[in-house]
Amino acid sequence: MNYNSAQQRVKDLKSFYTNCFWFGIVAIIILCRRIIKHGSLAEAISTGSIILTVWGIILAVKAVKLFILNSDWESRILEDELKKTKKPINF
């Protein structure tokens, strides 16, 4: 991994962790408001939130991109494909 890709990965990780932090804060605020409105934790959780659902899906996609389909994975797949298609040179 070269310096530029490492620097980009650090920026992406920082952005991801910042988004997770804000997701947690917003989720706590929404949950507290619903507990006050409905009177119980069970009812507050069961009603759900479309905002948190969509935001959670976006965070999950970003997590897969960062932690599973990262540049190391891409490099390994590229090397494997190059090995498969490499033909011997006959002189």
Domain ranges of the chain: 11-85
| Sign (positive or negative) of CA dihedral 56, 57, 58, 61 | positive
State pLDDT tens for residues 28-76. 998 888 888 888 877 777 777 888 889 999 999 999 988 887 767 777 7
Residue 21 parent element (H or E): helix 3-38
User: Quick one: how far is CA 30 from the chain centroid?
Assistant: 22
> Among 26, 15, 20, which residue's Cα sits nearest to residue 50?
26
Chain-centre distance for alpha carbon 6: 17
- Judged against a pLDDT cut of 90, whether residue 22 lies above it is answered with yes
What is the rounded distance in angstroms from the CA atom of residue 63 to the CA atom of residue 44?
A: 27
Band (pLDDT 50/70/90 cuts) for residue 24 is very high
